[in-house]
Structure 1
Amino acid sequence: MNTEFMDALTELEKEKGISKDVLLEAIEQALISAYKRNFNSAQNARVDIDRETGEVRVFARKTVVEDVVDPRMEISLAAASELSSAYQLNDIAEIEVTPRDFGRIAAQTAKQVVTQRIREAERSIIYEEYIDREEDIVTGTVQRQDSRFYYINLGKAEALLPVNEKMPTERFKQHDRVKTYITKVEKTTKGPQIFVSRTHPGLLKRLFELEVPEIYDGIVEIKSVSREAGYRSKIAVHSREEDVDPVGACVGPKGMRVQTVVNELKGEKIDIVRWSEDPEVYVANALSPSKVVHVDVDEESKVANVVVPDYQLSLAIGKEGQNARLAAKLTGWKIDIKSESEAERDDAVEGAAESSPDIEDEIEGEQIES
């Protein structure tokens, strides 16, 4: 190694942010192993790299003793005194043992160490960048796929989109650009692994945050999201300012804001409803677009009994129960839906049961009369 190598380490420190001293210490440690491996040495050794010239020297470290038992690890006091009069018993004496052709081995080892440290530093930088972006949206291009993942190129890194985290209604081709939601970032021996999703409710929430300035500014708040990816979603919104309509803000002029989100989600239908502290109002809103006659809630069991017009029953329940299911997820309430005619029939049965006399009382009355 020479001064050019040292200059290269200085440049590397500026460009990659890898400390020159840390690199040199790592190279010295690697050279100790290389020395022992290539020269069959079992003795203690120390490698020193001159910080100015890059000159590499190897020193054997031996304990100063009265009588030498193991010459590889020990040196007599008399021999140590020839090196320096300052040595005393039990001191560690250092003797230069640099092999003649050690420079070639040193250069190869240094290159390997520097390359490895650069790779580790780049991986660490990528990890630190993306660990801070968990629960955020990233845009990338589809590179390839296997039986488990779609591999999304994010530029500096590659993200893994599990096959079951892709919306069932979409198909990807190579080089397609997609927005995904980062669910998890893990540090592994092969570098950071970034897992993303297209089905996570967080993707819907973040898309609205990007499209609606009022949400970004904190005026409108997304209180809850429920989603069946690729088919239908519901979001509950609330405004912190009375003169701002949270639903209208999310829909946007001529529906442009919500349409942008729908397009990104490949036509997924989105119901935007107004959040309310009153569970009866909130449940009624959540069943949109169905109209609701009235809602009775049981706070203890967290059950909401909902009555809707007869002609709205199928709309309230939705295809295969989807609307009711999403409303229940959105509100956190179990929702039991009945039509008006069913509710009237049930009320009539209950009323008849309450008004009819008890059979045992009738029998007892007959016995008294006789």
Structure 2
Amino acid sequence: MSFSDNGPSNLQIVESINSVAEKEGLNPDALFRAIGIELAHEIGKRQYGDHRIFVEIDKKSGEIIVSKRLLVVEDSDKARMLEQLEVTTEEFPDSPSSFGVQEKIHHDDIIDLSTAKLKYPNVEHKAGDIITERLPSFSSGYIIARVMKAKLERLITSLVREKQYHCYKGRVGEIVTGIVKKSIDFKAGSRSIIVDIAGVEGLLPYSSLVKGESFRPGERVKCVIQKVEYSVIKPQILLSRSSGSFVAQLFSQQVPEIYDRVVEIKKVARDAGSRSKVAVFSSDRNIDPVGACIGMGGSRINAVVSELHGEKIDVVEYSSDTATFLANALKPIRPVKIAVNEEVKKIELVVPDESVSLVIGRGGQNVYLLSSLLGYRVEVLSDAEVSKKKMEEFISGTARFVEALNVEEVIAQLLVTEGFSTVEEIADCNTSRLAFIEGFDEDVAEEIRSRAVEYVNEQPKRTQALVEKYKANPNMLALSSFDTGLLEVLFSSGLTDLEKVAELSCDELREVIGDNGFAVPLLEQLIIRSRETLGWL
């Protein structure tokens, strides 16, 4: 763009702006407006004092129109306004300052109602009106030439990026194919690939590549749009090849039923480059969602695997029932038991001894993907481990009841066998249920329950004594209803504050206190009680 030494004529201004807008694929109105704002910045204070001025360029003649705007306020409000001198730019649309942000304005931008009526008698005004007053224009050519040379490139960049942002922000999750331009470091340790997507630059971080992948300049690369963020400094389109959404979109391209929304991908769990698990569902009972994704002779899934360079893919039928969903994900392995704990989002999965290693997977990969797919922590146990754990819990539970209730071992064993794990449960139980236990009668049941109630009533005193003994936080008294033996193990293990207990998982708690034979449900109750007391649940 070149002009004479005296600057461009008005028509040259119009022609230049329209030419640039056409070349860059921009809305001419937006470019006219942006240049007007820059001109207002450039000449405002120097030629028009403290007034905030507004500059428009006539889109046909190129005439420069300069104006100021006055906010009409009630006479009684002017003094207060002058003290604050703060008005949102929404009251002054098209302000040359940052839009939508509160800013300081000069007192010359405010006019009281009485003055407005005197100064503009032919127009009826009310408080809140904006009066636009035309100001003398300026010798435009040289100033415009300077502004356009200095600012135009930045304005164009800003408008182009804004256009790109609005074009792509609704395309998050779509797959695009681009050409690798170069690698670049935006900051230390953050290397990325610049990808040309139909003339727009996308950013593919190395961390979003599949392990072992590399691309050279000029190569074609297929990615999913992970995020779109507005920026005038770096590419706004964040790409990925390692995300679960990339796998989902590859299936969408290969499986017409997914594209037509007959089959839905519910979730993808992925260890990029190694294995993915894809949960699919169809509300049409005549459609096999898993078969649709695999295709005749594996044709559809093989196309996806090929794009992922051999990554293994397990397609699983989704179910809203967590246990059924997990059973589907385990096929062909048949679980012995699936126990779902909704409160702590945990699943205890018992499988045959010979299947444990398969379910866990190399390096724990398979159980990690199962947990990610279901949104639950999955604990895998073998038949033998469950039997051993039950025996340990039986022995420790028996010992606790013998000590707490002062009963013979055989009676304590019967209570454990019946499913009681704490003295509190016995105290809360009906005598009739206890009497129903084989070998018990009404008198025995009443005596056992009476001892349990007495033990529970005395428990706060015992807990208080433990708190004092171990100098524990008094908030641990909230766990008074739990077995004294369990509490002493907690305190002696350093868990002397409720928060320390609440932040642990069941496995972490067992690791801290050791394997003392306390049942997993009991430890889970302890954690839940701690979290409830602290208001975390």
Give aligned pairs, total: 326
Whole-Å separation in 2 of the counterparts to 1:258 and 1:316: 22
Distance 2:31 2:11 in 1: 15
Identity percentage over the alignment? 35
1:153 is matched with which residue?
A: 196
Q: 1:19 aligns with which of 28, 38, 63?
A: 28
- When normalised by structure 1's length, the TM-score is 0.72
Conserved? CA contact 1:233–1:270, under 8 Å: yes
- 3-state SS of 1:188 partner: coil
TM-superposed CA distance for 1:227, in Å, is 0.8
**C-alpha separation between the residues in 2 aligned to 1:57 and 1:335?**
70
Q: After superposition, where does 1:358-369 map in structure 2 within 5 Å?
A: 361=408
The answer to whether the 8 Å contact 1:239/1:246 transfers is yes
**1:260 Cα deviation (Å)?**
1.2
User: Structure 2 matches for 1:91-240, cutoff 5 A?
Assistant: 98=139, 103=141, 106-107=144-145, 109-110=147-148, 115-145=153-183, 146=185, 148=190, 149-190=192-233, 193-240=236-283
In structure 2, the residue matched to 1:84 is: none
Q: CA deviation at 1:241?
A: 0.4
SS, match of residue 187 in structure 1: coil
Is 1:291–1:312's contact at 8 Å kept on the other side of the alignment? no
Residue aligning to 1:275: 318
* 1:248 alignment counterpart: 291
Question: Cα 1:106–1:320, aligned 2, differ >3 Å: closer, same or farther?
Answer: closer
Amino acid at match of 2:159: A
Pairing 1:348-359 to 2, within 5 Å after superposition = none
Equivalences for residues 42-57 of structure 1 within 5 A: 54=62
After superposition, what is the alpha-carbon deviation per residue over 1:164-213, rounded to whole angstroms, capped at 9, x for unaligned? 12111322222222222222222223365221122211111222122211
**Is the 1:35–1:41 contact (alpha carbons within 8 Å) kept by the matching residues of 2?**
yes
Report the aligned-residue RMSD: 4.0
- For the residue of structure 2 that corresponds to 1:175, the secondary structure is coil
Q: How far apart are the structure 1 equivalents of 2:374 and 2:175?
A: 25
CA distance, structure 2, for counterparts of residue 179 and residue 112 of structure 1: 38
User: 1: distance between equivalents of 2:389 and 2:65?
Assistant: 96
> Structure 1 residues 311, 363: CA separation in 2 closer, same or farther (over 3 Å shift)?
closer
Residue 236 of structure 1, CA deviation? 1.2
Return the offset for 1:150: 1.4
Which residue in the other structure is 2:328 paired with? 285
Per the TM alignment, residue 29 of structure 1 is displaced from its structure 2 partner at its CA by 6.0
Distance in 1 between residues matched to 2:297 and 2:409, nearest whole Å: 69
SS class of match (1:183) = strand
Name the CA shift for 1:271/1:104 in 2 (closer, same or farther; >3 Å). Answer: same
Cα distance between partner residues in 1 of 2:16 and 2:257: 51
What secondary structure sits across from 1:290 in the alignment? Answer: coil
Contact 2:203/2:235, CA 8 A, preserved across alignment: no
Tell me the secondary structure at the aligned position of residue 227 of structure 2.
strand
Structure having the higher strand fraction is 1
Is the contact between residue 181 and residue 203 of structure 1 (CA under 8 Å) also seen in structure 2?
A: yes
Gap change, CA 1:4 and 1:317, over 3 Å in 2? same
Q: Structure 1 28/353 Cα, relative in aligned 2: closer, same or farther at 3 Å? A: closer
Distance 1:50 1:142 in 2: 43
The higher relative CO (CA closer than 8 Å, separation ≥ 6) is in 1
Query: What is the rounded CA distance, in whole Å, between the counterparts of 2:40 and 2:315 in structure 1?
Result: 66
Quote the Cα distance in structure 2 between the aligned partners of 1:224 and 1:46: 53
Quote the Cα distance in structure 2 between the aligned partners of 1:223 and 1:134.
17
Distance 1:266 1:224 in 2: 21
Is the contact between residue 18 and residue 118 of structure 1 (CA under 8 Å) also seen in structure 2?
A: no
- SS across alignment from 2:161: helix
What secondary structure does 1:173 align onto?
Answer: coil
Deviation at 1:256, TM superposition (A): 1.2
- Greater helix percent: which structure? 2
Q: 1:289 to 1:129 in 2, by over 3 A?
A: farther
Instruction: Report the 3-state secondary structure (helix = DSSP H, G, I; strand = E; otherwise coil) of the residue aligned with 2:270.
Output: strand
Cα contact 1:208–1:250 (8 A) shared by 2: yes
Structure 1 counterpart SS, 2:171: coil
Q: Any conservation in 2 of the 1:237–1:246 contact (CA below 8 Å)?
A: yes
Alpha-carbon distance, 1:141 to partner: 1.9
Partner SS, residue 132 of structure 1: helix
Counterpart of 2:347 (choices 285, 292, 304) is 304
Could you tell me the TM-score, scaled by structure 2's length?
0.52
> What is the rounded CA distance, in whole Å, between the counterparts of 1:363 and 1:314 in structure 2?
38
Distance in 2 between the 1:53 and 1:278 partners? Answer: 70
Q: CA deviation at 1:342?
A: 3.8
- Give the secondary structure class of the aligned counterpart of 1:261: helix
**Residue aligning to 1:81:** none
Q: Distance in 2 between matches of 1:352 and 1:57?
A: 93
